[in-house]
Structure 1
Amino acid sequence: MMAGVRMRLLYASHAPLRSRRADAVNVMRMCEALAKEGHKVELAVPNYRRTDLRIEDLYAYYGVEPIFQIRFLPARMAVQGTNPYALAVLQRVHQTRPDLLYTRSAKVLALCSRLARVRLLVEIHHIPSGMDRAAWRILTRIAGQERLARVVVINRALAEAVSREYGFPAELVAVVPSAAPDPARVKPAAIAGDKGFPVGYAGAFRPGHGIDLIFELARRLPDMQFYLWGGTKEELATFAERKPENVKLYGWVPPAAIPSYLAAMEVLLAPYQRRVTTEGGTDIARWISPTKLFDYMAVGRAVVASDLPSVREVLCHGKTGLLCDPDSVDEWCLALQSLRAHAELRNRLGANARRRFLECYSTQIRAQRVIEGLTIDRDGRKR
């Protein structure tokens, strides 16, 4: 925990918390980490009427401590032509007078940059397209203003792209990859019934995430058992019809439970393809900083991942993981066979990955890097 005056942080995120979305996981983890640094954190989220899941205790579901406040704000249209959530955030800024407004929402940024006197910390995970791209143009207007404290991006390619797109000076952009909490002494979950060499995957089942590649690996390696966590009910129904017998589909599990399942595996897979899409269909392959990689590294298991530029920023082939051509099933087969045959290699890669995680990729380290140097006096002057 940092010494000195704490900051009042208002984190505005439009991600629905009662959902399966990765951005909601990242936001909850960051709020916890910022609070552990000694800051007073309030997370302001829309109160969506329709949600994916019924969750009573959001803190327990995400596996975070209840050391920050969650405030639900209106999400329904109240005045024609306004965004109700962005307007509610603006009102909350006026009520609480935070030292920093931290947001990933273009609509919140557009409104609060015009109508609130508050320093802004903006996080961007990909170059927007369509209407979102127009909304984010507000960054061009405020790029040179002191109230824009920092722009956080998750990899180097994205840093270069946003600098070109919005004209930011290099010193304003901070490259801070995604992260995961340290599970410390996680107890591996009991996986019943199967004797095969356990290989795991946790994440989305959308196009580009490599589920078909995993199925092909399972067909070629029948003596291995593949465990997959994630996917919607509709996706699971589709994949269940054509999965090999040595693939187990467990569906979605709460983020708090993921580390124990991952720790029960010998090898963990991140088979991203050359095109990776969001729920809205945007290709984010160049910009990804996959949370699953950091969850994998945190539990100290051997990782096999796609050899893509964004992944190479995190993993070093032969040292903290094995990288394979996403188009070559043969490479993936050889990597898994090698890891099965050589326990020493598995253990070394897993230990190196965890060591690297502790040095660079825990959510606590991420929280420190995101706000480093941005402590603010109560009169609003940067210290």
Structure 2
Amino acid sequence: MKNITFCDQYGQLGGGQQVLLELVKAALENRFTVQVLIPEGPCADKLETLGVEVRRISNCALTQGKKSVLDVMRFAMYNLSVFFNNFSVLRSADLIYVNGNRLLPVAFFAQRILGKEAACHIHLNHGKLEKKLFRIFLRQRRTSAIVVPSAFIQRELVHFDTAFDSPKVRIVENGLDARFTSTAFEDRFSSRPLRHVGIVGRVSPEKGQDVLPALARRFPDMDFHVMGDAAFSSADFYATLRRDSPANVHFHGWVEDLPQKVREIGLQICLVPSRCPESTPGHSFEAAPLVPMQMAALSCLVMVRRLGALEDIAKSLQLISFDSDEELIPMIESLRVQPAGEPLALCENSHKLAVSRYSHNSFHENLKGLLRALIPV
């Protein structure tokens, strides 16, 4: 029986960790033995419920934004520690599968010292330093694949270096998990005024939740919802957002059951106002966003900024899109005076596209096929 060791840098349940859960399920259905190296957190707990061996590792705490020399040293020592503390697990693996980038040196060590095959799954549009690291990894003889979640990321990598125009770079588009793929369409607009607007996901500067205070002040008769927490991001940003928000901005924290929370709130509009981080102007971290397809599947009217892979998914699901924060107030004002049938028709169309183009079954089969290709039985 073939053996995969997955390595993940975060124990929280971000988009990358949702993909990890699907990868592990696909590996189990392929009848592979699975071990996972991952920090403590809800993702680690969920993995254990699947019956796989989970070895909890420490977090790699690095500076947000531009990294210092101390960060580089900490990064190197962290990976050496993970490698040697889990030497026996890595030695038993037929494939080391790194989900993210901070544990990529563990795969390097396993390739060079243990002669292991390795793959890496990218979830962000990383900066130049990380892309140089990916390029080194791509050129290793025992690198099976670099898996990217969207054509946008593939384009960004090839733009950086044509070496990434390689059969080793495989696209597996993100898709819906089982919570969303079977949801029936719900009418969120007939016989009710436009009132509930929300943002779903990790609270951080690049996710753009700071658009909400101004919207809440402009529309005091509406309710604005933040569904997510700072997790492995900026606690200071989260605290400032809460301090600056009026009473009609509601903070729900991390949401375990998103479909249930959406129904409980009566959410009608989901904003995805992601922006480029100040530390890397012009650089988009939106690589293959899950939230737009999830919220379209939940029958919400989804409005996304034209940024990174969000542009692609807006076209795919025929979503409303915008460029600047200043566009949001007139867009909401327009929606408030429209007949209910107009936003309802948009939602129904996006819902049908989401559940057909990004179905869980298709996503799951694509992951199973990927793993079978990387570890032939």
Q: Please give the TM-score of this superposition, normalised by the length of structure 1.
A: 0.74
Q: Are the aligned partners of 1:30 and 1:363 in contact in 2 as well (CA < 8 Å)? A: no
The answer to whether structure 1 residue 292 and structure 2 residue 264 are counterparts is no
Q: Are the aligned partners of 2:17 and 2:43 in contact in 1 as well (CA < 8 Å)? A: no
Per-residue CA distance 1:261-280 (angstroms, 9 max, x = gap): 2343111111112x147xx9
Relative to structure 1, is the Cα distance of residues 158 and 57 closer, same or farther in structure 2, using a 3 angstrom cutoff? Answer: closer
Query: Which of 152, 172, 195 is equivalent to 1:176?
Result: 172
Question: 1:45 corresponds to which letter in structure 2?
Answer: L
* In structure 2, C-alpha distance between the alignment counterparts of 1:152 and 1:109, rounded to whole Å: 14
Aligned pairs for 1:1-383 within 5 A = 8-15=3-10, 17=11, 19=12, 21-35=14-28, 37-40=29-32, 42-47=34-39, 58-59=45-46, 66-75=49-58, 83-95=80-92, 97-98=93-94, 100-104=95-99, 105-126=103-124, 128-129=126-127, 132=130, 135-142=133-140, 145=141, 147-163=142-158, 164-165=160-161, 167-183=163-179, 184-185=182-183, 197-232=195-230, 234-253=236-255, 256-263=256-263, 264-273=266-275, 275-276=276-277, 285=284, 287-316=286-315, 320-325=318-323, 327-335=324-332, 337-338=334-335, 341-372=338-369, 375=372, 382=376
Choose between structure 1 and 2: higher helix proportion.
Answer: 2
SS in 2 for 1:167: helix
Q: Are the aligned partners of 1:9 and 1:39 in contact in 2 as well (CA < 8 Å)? A: no
Using the TM superposition, give the Cα deviation of residue 305 of structure 1 relative to its aligned residue in structure 2, in angstroms. 1.0
Q: Are the aligned partners of 1:42 and 1:68 in contact in 2 as well (CA < 8 Å)? A: no
* In structure 2, C-alpha distance between the alignment counterparts of 1:81 and 1:242, rounded to whole Å: 37
Using the TM superposition, give the Cα deviation of residue 357 of structure 1 relative to its aligned residue in structure 2, in angstroms. 2.4
* In structure 1, C-alpha distance between the alignment counterparts of 2:125 and 2:83, rounded to whole Å: 21
Using the TM superposition, give the Cα deviation of residue 33 of structure 1 relative to its aligned residue in structure 2, in angstroms. 4.6
Q: Are the aligned partners of 2:37 and 2:56 in contact in 1 as well (CA < 8 Å)? A: yes
Q: Are the aligned partners of 1:198 and 1:267 in contact in 2 as well (CA < 8 Å)? A: yes
Relative to structure 1, is the Cα distance of residues 303 and 372 closer, same or farther in structure 2, using a 3 angstrom cutoff? Answer: same
* In structure 1, C-alpha distance between the alignment counterparts of 2:303 and 2:269, rounded to whole Å: 7
Unaligned runs of 5+ in 1: 1-5, 189-193
SS in 1 for 2:315: coil
Question: 1:361 corresponds to which letter in structure 2?
Answer: Y
Question: 2:9 corresponds to which letter in structure 1?
Answer: H
Relative to structure 1, is the Cα distance of residues 58 and 214 closer, same or farther in structure 2, using a 3 angstrom cutoff? Answer: same
Using the TM superposition, give the Cα deviation of residue 237 of structure 1 relative to its aligned residue in structure 2, in angstroms. 3.4
* In structure 1, C-alpha distance between the alignment counterparts of 2:49 and 2:78, rounded to whole Å: 36
Using the TM superposition, give the Cα deviation of residue 124 of structure 1 relative to its aligned residue in structure 2, in angstroms. 1.7
Question: Higher mean Cα deviation, 132-141 or 306-315?
Answer: 132-141
Q: Are the aligned partners of 1:267 and 1:303 in contact in 2 as well (CA < 8 Å)? A: yes
Per-residue CA distance 1:125-149 (angstroms, 9 max, x = gap): 345458755644532431xx3x433
* In structure 2, C-alpha distance between the alignment counterparts of 1:339 and 1:7, rounded to whole Å: 56
Using the TM superposition, give the Cα deviation of residue 82 of structure 1 relative to its aligned residue in structure 2, in angstroms. 6.2
* In structure 2, C-alpha distance between the alignment counterparts of 1:283 and 1:38, rounded to whole Å: 41
Relative to structure 1, is the Cα distance of residues 296 and 249 closer, same or farther in structure 2, using a 3 angstrom cutoff? Answer: same
Relative to structure 1, is the Cα distance of residues 177 and 56 closer, same or farther in structure 2, using a 3 angstrom cutoff? Answer: closer
* In structure 1, C-alpha distance between the alignment counterparts of 2:127 and 2:30, rounded to whole Å: 36
**Number of matched residues?**
345
Relative to structure 1, is the Cα distance of residues 181 and 195 closer, same or farther in structure 2, using a 3 angstrom cutoff? Answer: same
Using the TM superposition, give the Cα deviation of residue 72 of structure 1 relative to its aligned residue in structure 2, in angstroms. 0.8
Using the TM superposition, give the Cα deviation of residue 39 of structure 1 relative to its aligned residue in structure 2, in angstroms. 3.7
Relative to structure 1, is the Cα distance of residues 177 and 120 closer, same or farther in structure 2, using a 3 angstrom cutoff? Answer: same
* In structure 2, C-alpha distance between the alignment counterparts of 1:107 and 1:298, rounded to whole Å: 37
Q: Are the aligned partners of 2:9 and 2:39 in contact in 1 as well (CA < 8 Å)? A: no
Per-residue CA distance 1:95-125 (angstroms, 9 max, x = gap): 2x43x33213311221122133443332123
* In structure 2, C-alpha distance between the alignment counterparts of 1:197 and 1:351, rounded to whole Å: 19
Question: 2:167 corresponds to which letter in structure 1?
Answer: E
* In structure 2, C-alpha distance between the alignment counterparts of 1:309 and 1:74, rounded to whole Å: 32
Q: Are the aligned partners of 2:83 and 2:106 in contact in 1 as well (CA < 8 Å)? A: yes
Identical columns (%): 16
Question: Higher mean Cα deviation, 335-344 or 217-226?
Answer: 335-344
Using the TM superposition, give the Cα deviation of residue 334 of structure 1 relative to its aligned residue in structure 2, in angstroms. 1.8
* In structure 2, C-alpha distance between the alignment counterparts of 1:131 and 1:196, rounded to whole Å: 45
